[in-house]
Amino acid sequence: MYGVFLVAGLALGAIYALSGVGLVVLYRSTGVLNIAYGAIGAMGAMLAWQLEQMQYPEPVAWVAALLAATLLSLAYGRLVAPYLSYREPVVKAVATLGFALMILGTANYFWVEAPRRLYLFTDAMGFEVLDVRITGTRALVLIATLATTFGIAIFLKHTRIGLLMQALANKRELSSVLGVPVIRIETYAWLISGVLAGFTGLMFGDLVRPNPGALTFLVIPAIAAAIVGRLESLPMTLAGGLIIGVVESMSTLIKPIAPYRSIAPFVVAAILLLWLQRNRKLTFSGHD
């Protein structure tokens, strides 16, 4: 019994982790916590669904989803984000809510609520672990999460672009005075996170449901995973996402709290963060 919920929890956790990683990657390079991340992914997923309805082959749908999300991400990164670059991180973050509302409104306008289902070829595959069937899509999410976590961690650490991204996230103005081509580097970051958002949206569209509202606000539990990684550490974000998933799934077994299990991301994030901060002294101005 426990095993079943453990496996299901890991599968769920991978969902949180994957979007958490996407959030952290962008935040680390641009200082923007993108609340529109879910909405961008949702747009990709809806487009993929639409193309499937129009009988286009599946690869076309995949490409369209990734492309649409990347374009949206780039559009915001190039056209809007630079104007807000000198603002504090919280303002930069809440500004993306404006973008999220725009995307959500547009998506809802074109795709009025109706029964929908996104099919991916990975749905047909699957294997069993501890009596739980893991579909190809879920396995893909888990693998992709692991791959992006470590791939991007290595990329940021060992490449020049990674270094410049870190510099930018730290102090944008000083970096530009030091000669860092701000716009170009930020464009890379928005590009990478756009691709990730598209991929995440596609996966969520399949696993959750292709519904713009539901996908848009999934960003909030995803932020919980990112918080566990202090918006900084990709492996910790991964761990955070998985722990959150397992806790949420396992609390199904405790009757009185089972109906409230969706609260797990927030409780786990708050507790883990407080615990990770236990040795910190009072903060000094300018440091988070």
Partner 1 sequence: MSAILEIDNLNVVRGHKPVLRNLSLRIEAGKTVALLGPNGAGKSSLVLAMAGVLPIASGIISLDGQNLVNRPPEIIRRSGIAAILEGHQVLTDLTVEENLRVAGFYLGQEDLLAEMNKAYEIFPELLELRKRLAGTLSGGQQQMVAVAHALMAKPKFILADELSLGLAPVIVKRLMSVLEALANKGCGILLIEQFTHVALRLADYVYVINRGRVHFQGLPAEVQANPRVLHEAYLAGDFELAKS
Partner 2 sequence: MLLSVAALILIVPSLLDALYLRVFISSVIFTIAATGTAVLYARLGLVSLAQVALVGVGGWVTLRMWHATGLPFEVNMLAGAIISGVVGMLIGLPALRMRGLFLALITLMGAAGFQILVTGTQFPNGGDGVLGIAVTSIFMPRPLLGESDEAMLRYVCVVAVLCFLLVEFNRRTRPGRAWALIRKSEACAMASGVNVAFYKAWGFALAGFIAGIAGALLAGTLGVLDATTFPASESILLFALTVVGGAYHWLGLVLTGLLFRAAPAVLNDIGVNGHLAYVIFGAGLLHALITAPTGIAGQILDGLTQLAKRRAGR
Partner 3 sequence: LALTLSGTAFAQQKLYGLNTGKAASGQPILVGSVVGKTGPDDFSAGALAAKAYFDCVNSNGGINGRPIQFLIEDDQWKPEVAGQVASKLVKDRGVVALVGNGSFVEMTVNAKLYEQENVAVVASACAVRECFEAKNIASTNQGPVPSNIAAVQWAIEKLGTKKVACIGLNIPSNGVWSCNLTNEWLKEKGLSGVSVLMNPGAPDANSALLEAVASGADTFLMSLPAGLAQAFLKAGQDQNLRDKYKWVAPTPLYKQGIPESIGAYWGDKVHVAIELTKWDGAGPDGKRWLAVMDKYGAKSDPRDTFSQAGFVSANIFVDALLKMDPKKIDRANVTKALKAVKNYRTDLLCGPWYFGDADFHQPNHASMIVTITKTGFKSETGCFDPSGKYFDKIRAMEKAQKLTGS
Could you say which residues in the range 241-270 bind partner 2, by CB under 8 A?
A: 259-260, 262-263, 265-267, 269-270
Region near partner 1 per CB under 8 A, out of 57-65, 126-134, 145-153, 157-165? 157-165
Residue 154 engages partner 1 in binding (rule: CB under 8 A): no
At how many degrees (to 10) do helices 2-30 and 182-207 cross? 160
Region near partner 2 per CB under 8 A, out of 10-18, 177-185, 247-255, 278-286? 278-286
Other CB atoms within 10 A of residue 208 CB: 15
What letter represents residue 215's amino acid? L
Residue (160 or 255) nearer to partner 1, CB: 160
Could you say which residues in the range 8-27 bind partner 3, by CB under 8 A?
A: 8-9, 11-12, 15
Are 49 and 212 within 8 A, CB to CB?
no
Task: Determine the number of helices (DSSP H) and then strands (DSSP E) in the chain.
Answer: 13, 2
Percentages (nearest 5) of helix, strand, coil residues in the chain: 75, 5, 20
Q: What is the DSSP secondary-structure string of 143-158?
A: HHHHHHHHHHHHHHHH
Residue spans of beta strands (DSSP E) within the chain:
126-129, 132-135
Euclidean distance between CA atoms 161 and 157, whole angstroms: 9
Here the tokens at position 263 are 């609260």
Are 16 and 222 within 8 A, CB to CB?
yes
Residue 58 engages partner 3 in binding (rule: CB under 8 A): no
Region near partner 1 per CB under 8 A, out of 141-149, 162-170, 256-264, 275-283? 162-170
Residue 176 engages partner 1 in binding (rule: CB under 8 A): yes
Q: Which of 53, 159, 170, 277 binds partner 2 (CB under 8 A)?
A: 277
Residue (147 or 254) nearer to partner 3, CB: 254
Residue (183 or 220) nearer to partner 1, CB: 183
Residue 126 engages partner 3 in binding (rule: CB under 8 A): yes
Q: Which of 6, 74, 101, 139 binds partner 2 (CB under 8 A)?
A: 101
φ, ψ for residue 120 (rounded to 5)?
A: -120, 150
Here the tokens at position 265 are 């991301």
Residue 90 engages partner 2 in binding (rule: CB under 8 A): yes
Least CB distance from residue 80 to partner 3, whole Å?
25
Least CB distance from residue 63 to partner 3, whole Å?
23
Euclidean distance between CA atoms 94 and 98, whole angstroms: 7
- Residues binding partner 2 (CB under 8 A): 33, 35, 80, 83-84, 87-91, 93-95, 97-106, 108-109, 217, 220-221, 223-224, 227, 230-231, 259-260, 262-263, 265-267, 269-270, 273-274, 277, 280-288
